[in-house]
Chains A and B, each alone.
Chain A
Amino acid sequence: MTIRDAYDAAVVGAGPAGLAAATLCARAGLATVLFDEQPAAGGQIYRAAGTTPLRAGTILGDDYWRGRRLVADFAASGAQHVPGAAVWSLSREREIGVSLGGAARLVRAARVILATGAIERPFPIPGWTLPGVMTAGAAQILLKSAALVPAGRTVLAGSGPLLWLLARQYLEAGAEIAAILDTTPRANRRRALAHAPAFLASPYFAKGLALLRAVRRRVRVIGGVAALAAEGSGRLEAVRYAAARGEQRLPADLLLLHQGVVPNVNLAMAAGIAHRWDESQLCFVPERDAAGATALDGIAIAGDGGGIGGAEAAAEEGRLAAIAAIRALRPGADLGAEEIAARRSLARWRRGRRFLDALFRPAFVPPADETIVCRCEAVTAGEIAAAVDQGCTGPNQLKAFTRCGMGPCQGRLCGLTVTQLIAARRGVSPAEAGHYRLRPPVKPLTLGELAGLPAGNAAMKAVARD
């Protein structure tokens, strides 16, 4: 594959936002490239939509199969697809550092659209590092991309739409679920009520209700669950939890955890884009305008990477960011009708989201002291609390105290927990506690790859922020 030194438009991420954005840019005649880490287009929600071994119309549901259209439109658009690409930096000058097949290179673009999507919210419980404990999203990826279903005693635990969707897909696929342990705080129902009218009028209501009913009919669901813990020697053997009937122990071979998704912000933060704490979604979101534009010239963010809105909203945000990019590079391009259509559709898909945010907002309970918070460096909640008591004020200082957040995942699996832990311990807001200062490279890069870059100022700038 020949990758050019420069493009009109570069898109990062091949989920709904990135696919829709790249498709529009390419159709408008912009030289467009889409970098994506996965082997096939679709992102996580439409993971393997064009390559899954599962037959269309079964198991995964109509929403998933709609992703095929996005993938097909993208494939026919003329945009260049670069799969298996790890984007590790983005400079203010819109120079992208990317590794492909063990070689790094720098690519410039007149417009950059970040569509890095979401990751699952960290779910630190005692024993969550044991083999046999995974996220619900991970299990769904195995179903979509490889047609794997659980064998043995499977427990789903946590909160949020994905947990229920996975349960139904597993039932359709002939897999058994021993129990769903629902951790949704009961008080959320009352808080969500204020947003109920919009939700009732939204596309999510009928779908959600049907989903809950279908799963509850066939699976044992235990509500009001707290104090989750995974137990086992070398691998998962049982799940412990507290519920109305007291402390329980459930033998298990597979525990799938989930408590919602949050923006995948590492690349945007490392590029120097300002982020703010979102109290309703309990995460950091980038500052951007209605078309996704950030304060950095020519760099926009579309989709869940800018705040969780779901797949359909993400695609419309991708289109709006693309329209802005096309107008900037092709003055006089008439995209008025497309813009109006995208805005209308976006408004429709945003309706009802605040209800979902409120209903599934996880309660922050500081993990028990022995719980590993930073999986990479095996730093526990107790060690973090001790560091705060010794005067550590925020996540950055915590690195020096404990190495927390300094492993290869670069805070993706601990960042939000650390922010909330420090905020709670210090009695300040998560916004004041802040987040790790992220720097490029945001994915591990070998010295050999770095040394293989063309030498020069640009290469230096790509790895050293001024």
Chain B
Amino acid sequence: MFRRRPEAAPTLAIRVDGVAVPARAGESVAAAMLAAGLLRFRDAPAGGAPRGPYCMMGACFDCLVTIDGVGNRQACLETVREGMAVETQSGPRALAR
């Protein structure tokens, strides 16, 4: 769905559901996932349907993922870090995260 232009060559890697995903320092988690062809970020708590980023500016909350063990982070607002552990979500955030 998206590809990187040559200027956006990856410089580090994050892990999404345990799989290495290349990323460029400074970009958002959502951008790195979309560039890797990952469209489904979570299954919605209401209705259970798959969802992914819609607005990319922090307004829609459809890109919620778990980052380094903390649930419901907005992937479009989080900047990638080497070794960051991202998990896609299913349903509501677990109480302990």
Q: Which residue of B lies closest to A143 (CB)?
A: B5
Contacts of A39 in B (CB 8 A): 26, 28, 77, 79
User: B49 touching A378 by the CB < 8 A rule?
Assistant: yes
User: A413 touching B60 by the CB < 8 A rule?
Assistant: yes
Contacts of A54 in B (CB 8 A): 5, 7
A135 close to chain B: CB less than 8 A: yes
Q: Which residue of B lies closest to A135 (CB)?
A: B55
Contacts of A135 in B (CB 8 A): 54-56
Interface 0/1 of A116-151, CB less than 8 Å to B: 000110000000111111110111011001111111
Cα distance A84–B78 in the bound complex, in angstroms:
9
User: A146 touching B46 by the CB < 8 A rule?
Assistant: no
**Residues B66-97 near A (CB distance < 8 A):** 70, 72, 76-77, 79
Contacts of B77 in A (CB 8 A): 37-39, 84
Contacts of B7 in A (CB 8 A): 53-55, 147
- Which one of B26, B31, B64 contacts A148 once the chains associate, using CB atoms below 8 Å? B31
A-side binding surface: helix, strand, loop or mixed? loop
User: A147 touching B1 by the CB < 8 A rule?
Assistant: no
Interface 0/1 of B37-71, CB less than 8 Å to A: 00111001011011111111111111010000010
- How far is the CB of A83 from the nearest CB of chain B, in Å? 10
Contacts of A234 in B (CB 8 A): 40, 50
Cα distance A97–B53 in the bound complex, in angstroms:
27
Contacts of B41 in A (CB 8 A): 131
Number of interface residues of B (CB under 8 A): 41
Contacts of A133 in B (CB 8 A): 54
A339 close to chain B: CB less than 8 A: no
User: B8 touching A138 by the CB < 8 A rule?
Assistant: no
User: B27 touching A145 by the CB < 8 A rule?
Assistant: yes
Cα distance A365–B28 in the bound complex, in angstroms:
35
Cα distance A187–B7 in the bound complex, in angstroms:
43
Number of interface residues of A (CB under 8 A): 51
A235 close to chain B: CB less than 8 A: yes
- Which one of B27, B51, B62, B64 contacts A146 once the chains associate, using CB atoms below 8 Å? B27
User: A146 touching B1 by the CB < 8 A rule?
Assistant: no
User: B50 touching A375 by the CB < 8 A rule?
Assistant: no
User: A141 touching B5 by the CB < 8 A rule?
Assistant: no
User: A142 touching B56 by the CB < 8 A rule?
Assistant: yes
Stretch binding the partner chain, chosen from A69-77, A354-362, A404-412, A456-464: A404-412
- How far is the CB of A154 from the nearest CB of chain B, in Å? 8
User: B55 touching A138 by the CB < 8 A rule?
Assistant: yes
Known interface pairs A51-B26, A145-B31, A234-B40; A150-B49 also in contact (CB < 8 Å):
no
Give the interface centre of A37, A51, A174 by most chain B CB atoms within 10 Å: A37
User: A148 touching B56 by the CB < 8 A rule?
Assistant: no
User: A148 touching B79 by the CB < 8 A rule?
Assistant: no
User: A409 touching B60 by the CB < 8 A rule?
Assistant: yes
- Which one of A44, A120, A146, A412 contacts B35 once the chains associate, using CB atoms below 8 Å? A146
A110 close to chain B: CB less than 8 A: no
A254 close to chain B: CB less than 8 A: yes
Known interface pairs A37-B77, A38-B77, A254-B1; A148-B55 also in contact (CB < 8 Å):
no
- How far is the CB of B70 from the nearest CB of chain A, in Å? 8
Known interface pairs A146-B24, A150-B2; A119-B31 also in contact (CB < 8 Å):
no
Footprint of B on A, CB under 8 Å? 37-39, 44, 51, 53-55, 84, 102, 119-120, 128-135, 137-139, 141-142, 145-152, 173-174, 234-235, 253-254, 264, 375-378, 403, 407-409, 412-413, 444
Cross-chain pairs A/B with CB under 8 angstroms, 9 sampled: A39-B79, A53-B26, A128-B54, A129-B54, A134-B56, A137-B55, A146-B24, A147-B8, A408-B72
Footprint of A on B, CB under 8 Å? 1-5, 7-8, 24, 26-28, 31-32, 34-35, 39-41, 44, 46-47, 49-62, 64, 70, 72, 76-77, 79
Known: A55-B7, A254-B2. 8 other contacts (CB 8 A): A39-B79, A129-B62, A141-B56, A141-B76, A148-B8, A375-B54, A378-B46, A408-B72
